[in-house]
């Protein structure tokens, strides 16, 4: 096996954050590490301050990118239970952490459009279903109605 990358996540299991950062630090010596902030438990809500602190600490520990948890339903984390974007949370995170260091889970088209319009066509998006990759790329390059007119302006 020629494993080069790994993910360290506590979305399903409880790991003390200090221990999680130790794992990231140790693994980053041999692997490209991505870590994930947020929980798959819909009853776990991080404050804006916690999102920023956890992401920052994981990047400092050696994570190449930090994933924002949203689940396949796109209804937790940086989204509310209806799948709507928590724009104040995301904007505050972006004031503290460069977008290039974050992979935003955005499984729903409306969420993808929001990120593309807010951050740009090359925003790092994750949790994209394999059959949604081409539709996402057409959004990125302005070939769909949701982003078409944004490209005409540029």
Kindly state the helix (H) or strand (E) to which residue 152 belongs, with its residue range: helix 145-153
Kindly indicate the confidence band of residue 78, based on its pLDDT and cuts at 50, 70 and 90.
very high
Contact in structure between 139 and 116 (CB atoms under 8 Å) = yes
Summarised one tens digit per residue, pLDDT across range 7-41 is 999 888 889 999 999 999 999 999 999 999 998 87
**CA angle, corner 129, sides to 154 and 94, nearest 5?**
50
- Which residues sit opposite 33 in a β-bridge? 6
| pTM value surpassing 0.85 | yes
What does DSSP say about strands 102-105 and 5-9: parallel, antiparallel, or unpaired?
unpaired
Q: In sequence order, what are the residues at sequence separation of 6 or more whose Cβ sits closer than 8 angstroms to the Cβ of residue 78?
A: 38, 68, 70, 85, 86, 89, 90, 93, 104, 105
Q: Three-state SS across 35-60?
A: EEECCCCCCCCCCHHHHHHHHHHHHH
Summarised one tens digit per residue, pLDDT across range 85-132 is 999 999 999 999 999 999 999 999 999 999 999 999 999 999 999 999
């Amino acid at each position: 096996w020629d494993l080069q990358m790994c993910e360290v996540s506590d979305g399903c299991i409880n790991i003390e954050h200090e221990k999680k950062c130790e794992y990231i630090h140790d693994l980053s010596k041999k692997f490209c590490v991505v870590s994930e902030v947020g929980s798959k438990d819909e009853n776990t809500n991080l404050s804006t301050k916690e999102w920023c602190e956890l992401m920052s600490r994981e990047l400092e520990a050696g994570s190449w990118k930090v994933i924002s948890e949203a689940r396949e339903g796109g209804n937790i984390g940086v989204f509310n239970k209806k799948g709507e974007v928590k724009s104040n949370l995301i904007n505050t995170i972006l004031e503290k952490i460069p977008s290039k260091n974050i992979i935003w889970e955005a499984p729903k088209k409306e969420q993808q459009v929001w990120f593309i319009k807010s951050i740009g066509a090359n925003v790092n998006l994750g949790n994209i279903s394999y059959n949604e990759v081409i539709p996402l790329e057409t959004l990125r390059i302005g070939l769909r109605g949701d982003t078409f007119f944004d490209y005409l302006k540029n």
